[in-house]
């Protein structure tokens, strides 16, 4: 974010540990906490597997502040230590996440509750201790982990096995041989976790995204594994793929792994592996404590040359097949260690185009990166279902990419991205220690000699963890700034050693590094409100090049969510006082208020008359702005001059209850921003251009389309038709091509100052395949480009959309029914009809799935929503959701809109 002034993946026997997460409220997290409310000392020990090659995740910890523990470390880390009064914590848990799950603090997502949590409690180290049992000590034992924030002294059975100076950094991977300390029966691991300071430690910070947690996420946020093995260990297993492009007719696979002799004598290991029906084997002599890289290529293993390989594609471009590698190292016929890796076959290129913008292609086909910036939960609580729900939302929105600026999620996140065909752009974060050496006067301390090896080890660990995921298409080694020569060399050396397969990008901003060169990306904003026509200018944040993070700033949630996150007094301030500090926006002084946004809302739509009016105007404004952002980039993607190559909405989601930077809110409710993005990214889409009034058809499908009919009709706000034109025989190429069907004249007689434009695209059989409705003004928004700042361009005069306030009420009838599937989901079908007898359309009519008490049922995926209907028109929508999320209630549909009275109907 522009903020200016370990290779142990997916071991076949690894335990899957769900963290502490619930999609709805912090109070519900306790129910997902794996130790429940019982005292921590009663938590059972984790039973470690005994077989060679097995890994077992520690399932729970007991934690306590060192301010309350005066016993020596040797005692704390000894089995049987009485952890009386300690707090239970999950297998991946920050200190504060555990305390929240234990009910120590009120819901930090409501009002200013988080501000009341004392920071001093987290200014000292905290103990994490966990017991595990081993039945058989004949195998070797290791502790294998990353995700320690910020550093830790590590003890096993009363003995120190690592110091905090060596276990430092959130991403560094550590493997500690604890064979000599492990005993049959109960064993204890204890971590003395150091406080986290993102400006001083190479860990994770929150920049200006949200109010940072008081503990700064100190804790252990990835699995700690107990790994078992024999005399020869297998490590670093991976597959290097080379796909024939553009034919895709064949692929060559190279399998690599390291065999390590753990004994004092020479041994001969047999390393054998399979990928599908292909098998391969090698005999590897190893001297005492020697490590060798074992490599299998098509030259020595012909089965690794694949004809007609199963190629992995992003969603919408093809399938997402994966291959599996299984390796075994044996000594004298006895298995000593195993490894498993899933991987995909695909080719990624990202050269700079003639304008210097980075242009991605997958398997030889160019694509416009349409993405969003990812945020984990504020307390780094992991829940696979919640993550999967958000990734499904990304697909529903027509996005193809998620950018992770720091906060690089656990393995399961990338497994899901592989499964769903969602591209990912991970990289280091800005504005703290990570860029402290190169970001001038911004936050983040300069590096000391001790930081360089931590950064290089972090890069090595993440490269090894992510390289086989086909969804990962780059690593951004800088964000707002590019690394200097020394740091870049360390990163690139680590990436090369890991056989990193995809482009390395110097920065998310328009910066260059000595070796990687120019980034080909821009970070020119905006981050606060600008009008929709801004996006069409090929300058600043407009639709040209690759914009790595940008949006119109505030995204006000639905009224349901606002009432869950803010007090009545705060809600009054929200709509009455634009200059007031908003705790739920940002800790940044730049983004602390909603003044720019609120002034525009009042200037364009009229001053709000109450909270409900404020929220309804906000949803309208967010719909038009988000839609314009994606539409402008979509239209310009195949331009001959200065094409757009990528856009990342800042942000896709928020880690807490927020008033800005989110396409959906913390509870996964959907408003104008969500449905504006969904509309813009339709597979075959008709849209209006704010810059030249062209009506354009954009085809995001691979196949070309022809025989289409495009129609545009202009109406006054009372529904009187003033202009109507149709273009037949419209054709458009595939893969993001666009075609201009017609252009609306600059002046149309009889239009009201505020007017409506309805665009309809039909197929050769006359079936409607895309409908898009705009509210426009004969008085345009005027931008003050000369005074553009890093976060927005001022608007000197606003479009006049106040005429929408005088629209007559348009009654909409609704009938709904629900059917349940066999997969745990239900589908509610609702038919909406404008039953008005006049000419006035129902503008942006929203259907909300609710339970019998009127509470939203979330998550939910609508076929379409926030639709506009003219009198006599009807549409049928479907909503799909988990049946269990009704909690036994009957489904209802709440219908409301800009000029539609609210009503709720049962959906039995």
3-state secondary structure 312-365: CCCCCCCCCCCEEEEEEEEECCEEEEEEEEEECCCCEECCECCCCCECCEECCE
Question: What are residue 474's phi and psi, to 5 degrees?
Answer: -170, 170
Contact 202, 451 (CB under 8 A): yes
State which H helix or E strand residue 411 sits in.
helix 411-420
pLDDT at 42: 59
Catalytic site residue from 34, 215, 480, 682? 480
Element (H, E) at 636: helix 611-636
Catalytic-residue membership of 139: no
The mean pLDDT value for 723-739 works out to: 97
Which pLDDT value is given to residue 822?
87
Assess whether 435 carries a catalytic annotation: no
Q: How confident is the model at residue 1 (pLDDT cuts 50, 70, 90)?
A: low
Of 706, 708, 687, 570, the residue nearest 629 (C-alpha) = 687
pLDDT at 21 over 50: no
Are 678 and 688 in contact by the 8 Å Cβ rule? The answer is no
**Which candidate, 522, 506, 348, 516, places its Cα nearest to that of 423?**
348
- According to DSSP, the residues that pair with 831 across neighbouring strands are 815, 876
Closest CA to 552 of 532, 577, 523, 536: 532
User: How many H-runs (helices) and E-runs (strands) does the chain carry?
Assistant: 12, 51
Mean pLDDT for 791-816 is 97
Question: Residue 30 pLDDT > 50, yes or no?
Answer: no
Give me the pLDDT at residue 193, please: 98
pLDDT at 599 over 70: yes
d(Cα 190, Cα 127) in Å, to the nearest integer? 7
**Pair of tokens at residue 586:** 């940002």
* 286 pLDDT higher than 60: yes
Place of tokens 């058989």: 136
- Can you tell me the mean pLDDT for 505-522? 97
Quickly tell me which residue has 């129910």 as its tokens: 31
Q: What is the pLDDT of residue 858?
A: 97
The two structure tokens encoding residue 800:
């006049």
Q: From its phi and psi, is residue 236 left (phi > 0), alpha (psi between -120 and 50) or beta?
A: left
The percent of residues above 70 in pLDDT, for the chain, comes to 95
How far, in Å, CA of 216 to CA of 530, rounded?
32
Residues 6 or more apart whose Cβ sits within 8 Å of residue 290:
260, 261
Nearest 5°: the CA angle 513, 518, 519 is 95
Report yes or no: 807 and 899 within 8 Å, Cβ to Cβ: yes
Average pLDDT in the 593-597 region? 97
Phi then psi for 253, rounded to 5 degrees?
-115, 135
Q: Is the pLDDT of residue 429 over 70?
A: yes
Residue 25 is predicted with a pLDDT of 41
The position carrying tokens 């739920």 is 584
d(CA 138, CA 154): 23
pLDDT band, residue 442 (cuts 50/70/90): confident
Q: Write phi, then psi, for 606 (nearest 5 degrees).
A: 100, 150
- What distance in Å separates the CA atoms of residue 97 and residue 215, rounded to the nearest whole number? 9
Q: CA 574 to CA 595: how far, in whole Å?
A: 10
Contact 188, 110 (CB under 8 A): no
Q: How far apart are CA 207 and CA 3, in angstroms?
A: 7
The C-alpha torsion from 219 through 221 and 227 to 232, rounded to 10°, is -100
The one catalytic residue among 236, 549, 624, 669: 549
**How far is the CA of 368 from the CAs of 135, 547, 638, in angstroms?**
54, 11, 9
- Residue range 185-203, pLDDT digits in tens: 999 999 999 999 999 999 9
Mean pLDDT score of the chain: 94
Cα–Cα dist 189/174, whole Å: 14
Q: How far is the C-alpha of 405 from the C-alpha of 424, rounded, in Å?
A: 11
What is the model's pLDDT at position 24? 39
Q: Are strands 126-134 and 46-47 parallel, antiparallel or unpaired?
A: parallel
Neighbours of 172 (CB within 10 A): 25
Q: State CA 51 to chain mean position distance.
A: 36
Beta strands in 79-210 (DSSP E): 87-90, 93-94, 126-134, 140-145, 148-149, 152-156, 159-162, 174-177, 185-193
CB 178 within 8 A of CB 190: no
How far apart CA 470 and CA 345 sit, in angstroms, is 7
Name the pLDDT band for 441 (thresholds 50, 70, 90): confident
pLDDT at 4 over 70: no
Q: How many CB atoms lie within 10 A of CB 599?
A: 15
Residue 368 has pLDDT above 80, yes or no: yes
| Nearest partner of 269 among 286, 256, 257, 252, judged by Cα | 286
Q: Tell me which residue has tokens 């790994």.
A: 227
Residues 13 and 633: their CA atoms lie apart, in Å, by 45
The reported pLDDT for the residue numbered 22 is 35
Model confidence at 378: pLDDT above 60: yes
- Please tell me the total number of residues recorded for the chain in this structure: 908
- Indicate if the pLDDT at residue 33 is higher than 50: no
Phi (first) and psi of residue 181, to 5 degrees: -100, -20
Q: For residue 1, how far is the Cα from the chain centroid?
A: 14
Residue 880 DSSP SS3: strand
Distance CA 139, CA 696 (A): 66
- Residue 127 tokens, joined: 């103990």
| Model confidence at 485: pLDDT above 60 | yes
Per-residue confidence (pLDDT) for residue 725, from 0 to 100: 98
- What is the Cα 498 distance to its own chain's centre? 25
How many other CB atoms sit within 10 Å of the CB of residue 452? 15
Whose structure tokens read 């909406």? 832
What does DSSP assign to residue 820?
E
> Of the candidates 807, 826, 827, 842, which has an alpha carbon nearest to the alpha carbon of residue 878?
827
Angle at the Cα of 474 from the Cα atoms of 733 and 367, rounded to 5 degrees: 5
pLDDT at residue 147 tops 90: yes
Residues contacting residue 145 through CB under 8 Å, at least 6 positions apart: 173, 174, 220, 222, 223, 224, 225
How far is the C-alpha of 773 from the C-alpha of 208, rounded, in Å?
34
Q: Torsion-angle region of residue 729: left (phi > 0), alpha (psi -120 to 50) or beta? A: left
Which positions ≥6 away from 292 have C-beta within 8 Å?
Answer: 258, 259, 284, 286
Cβ–Cβ under 8 Å, residues 258 and 224: no
User: Alpha-carbon distance 102 to 33, whole Å?
Assistant: 8
* Residues 243, 252: Cα–Cα separation, whole Å: 7
Angstrom distance (rounded) from CA 809 to CA 423 = 44
Say what the pLDDT of residue 230 is: 96
């Amino acid at each position: 974010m522009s903020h200016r002034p370990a290779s142990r993946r997916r071991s076949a026997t690894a335990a899957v540990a769900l963290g502490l997460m619930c999609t709805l409220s912090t109070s519900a997290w306790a129910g997902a906490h794996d130790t429940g409310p019982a005292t921590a000392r009663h938590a059972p020990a984790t039973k470690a597997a005994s077989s060679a090659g097995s890994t077992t995740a520690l399932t729970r910890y007991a934690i306590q502040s060192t301010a309350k523990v005066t016993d020596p470390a040797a005692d704390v880390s000894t089995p049987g230590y009485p952890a009386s009064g300690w707090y239970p914590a999950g297998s991946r848990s920050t200190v504060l996440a555990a305390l929240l799950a234990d009910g120590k603090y009120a819901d930090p997502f409501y009002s200013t509750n988080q501000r009341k949590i004392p920071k001093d409690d987290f200014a000292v180290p905290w103990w994490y201790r966990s017991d595990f049992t081993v039945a058989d000590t004949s195998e070797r034992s290791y502790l294998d982990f990353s995700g320690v924030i910020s550093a830790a002294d590590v003890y096993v059975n009363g003995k120190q096995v690592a110091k905090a100076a060596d276990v430092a950094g959130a991403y560094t991977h550590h493997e500690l041989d604890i064979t000599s300390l492990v005993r049959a029966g109960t064993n204890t691991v204890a971590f003395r976790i150091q406080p986290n300071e993102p400006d001083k430690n190479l860990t994770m910070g929150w920049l200006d995204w949200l109010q940072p947690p008081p503990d700064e996420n100190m804790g252990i946020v990835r699995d700690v594994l107990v790994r078992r093995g024999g005399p020869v260990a297998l490590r670093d297993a991976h597959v290097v793929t080379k796909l024939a492009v553009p034919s895709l007719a064949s692929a060559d696979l190279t399998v690599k792994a390291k065999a390590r002799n753990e004994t004092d004598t020479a041994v001969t290991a047999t390393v054998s592996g399979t990928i599908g029906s292909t098998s391969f084997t090698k005999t590897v002599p190893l001297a005492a404590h020697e490590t060798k890289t074992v490599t299998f290529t098509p030259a020595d293993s012909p089965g690794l040359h694949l004809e007609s390989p199963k190629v992995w594609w992003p969603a919408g471009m093809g399938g997402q097949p994966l291959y599996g590698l299984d390796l075994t190292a044996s000594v004298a016929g006895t298995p000593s260690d195993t490894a498993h890796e899933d991987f995909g076959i695909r080719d990624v290129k990202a050269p700079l185009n003639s304008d210097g913008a980075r242009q991605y292609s997958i398997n030889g086909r160019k694509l416009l990166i349409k993405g969003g910036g990812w945020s984990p939960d504020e307390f780094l609580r992991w829940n696979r279902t919640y993550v999967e729900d958000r990734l499904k939302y990304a697909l529903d929105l027509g996005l193809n990419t998620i950018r992770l600026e720091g906060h690089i999620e656990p393995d399961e996140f990338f497994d899901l991205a592989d499964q769903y065909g969602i591209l990912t752009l991970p990289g280091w974060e800005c504005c703290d220690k990570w860029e402290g050496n190169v970001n001038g006067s911004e936050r983040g301390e300069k590096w000391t000699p001790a930081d360089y090896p931590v950064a290089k080890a972090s890069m090595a660990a993440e490269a090894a963890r992510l390289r086989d995921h086909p969804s990962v298409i780059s690593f951004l080694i800088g964000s707002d700034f590019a690394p200097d020569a020394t740091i870049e060399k360390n990163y690139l050396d680590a990436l090369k050693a890991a056989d990193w397969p995809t482009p390395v990008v110097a920065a998310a901003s328009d910066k260059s590094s000595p070796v990687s060169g120019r980034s080909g990306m821009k970070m020119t904003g905006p981050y606060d409100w600008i009008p929709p026509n801004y996006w069409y200018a090929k300058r600043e944040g407009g639709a040209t090049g690759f914009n790595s993070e940008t949006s119109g700033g505030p995204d006000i949630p639905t009224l349901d969510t606002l009432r869950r996150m803010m007090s009545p007094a705060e809600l009054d301030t929200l709509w009455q006082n634009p200059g007031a500090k908003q705790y739920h926006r940002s800790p940044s002084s730049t983004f602390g208020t909603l003044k720019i946004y609120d002034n525009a809302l009042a200037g364009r739509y009229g001053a709000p008359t109450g909270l409900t009016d404020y929220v309804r105007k906000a949803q309208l404004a967010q719909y038009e702005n988000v839609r314009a952002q994606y539409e402008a980039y979509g239209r310009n993607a195949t331009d001959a001059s200065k094409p757009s190559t990528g856009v990342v909405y800042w942000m896709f989601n928020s880690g807490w209850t927020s008033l800005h930077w989110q396409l959906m809110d913390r509870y996964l409710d959907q408003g104008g921003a969500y449905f504006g993005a969904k509309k813009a990214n339709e597979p075959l889409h008709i849209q209006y251009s704010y810059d030249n009034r062209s009506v354009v058809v954009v085809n995001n499908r691979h196949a070309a389309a022809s025989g289409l009919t495009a129609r545009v009709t202009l109406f006054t706000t009372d529904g009187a038709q003033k202009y109507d034109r149709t273009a037949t025989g419209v054709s458009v190429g595939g893969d993001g091509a666009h075609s201009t069907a017609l252009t609306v004249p600059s002046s149309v007689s009889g239009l009201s100052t505020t007017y409506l434009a309805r665009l309809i695209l039909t197929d050769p059989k006359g079936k409607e395949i895309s409908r898009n409705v705009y509210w426009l003004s004969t008085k345009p928004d005027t931008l003050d480009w000369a005074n553009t700042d890093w976060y927005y361009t001022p608007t000197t005069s606003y479009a006049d959309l106040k005429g929408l306030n005088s629209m007559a009420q348009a009654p909409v009838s609704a009938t709904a029914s629900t059917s349940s599937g066999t997969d745990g989901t239900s589908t509610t079908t609702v038919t909406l009809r404008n039953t008005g007898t006049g000419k006035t359309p129902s503008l942006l009519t929203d259907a909300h799935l609710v339970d019998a008490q009127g509470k939203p049922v979330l998550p939910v995926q609508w076929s379409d929503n926030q639709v506009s209907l003219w009198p006599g028109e009807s549409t049928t929508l479907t909503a799909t959701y988990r049946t269990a999320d009704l909690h036994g209630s009957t489904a209802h549909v709440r219908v409301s809109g800009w000029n539609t009275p609210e009503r709720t109907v049962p959906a039995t």
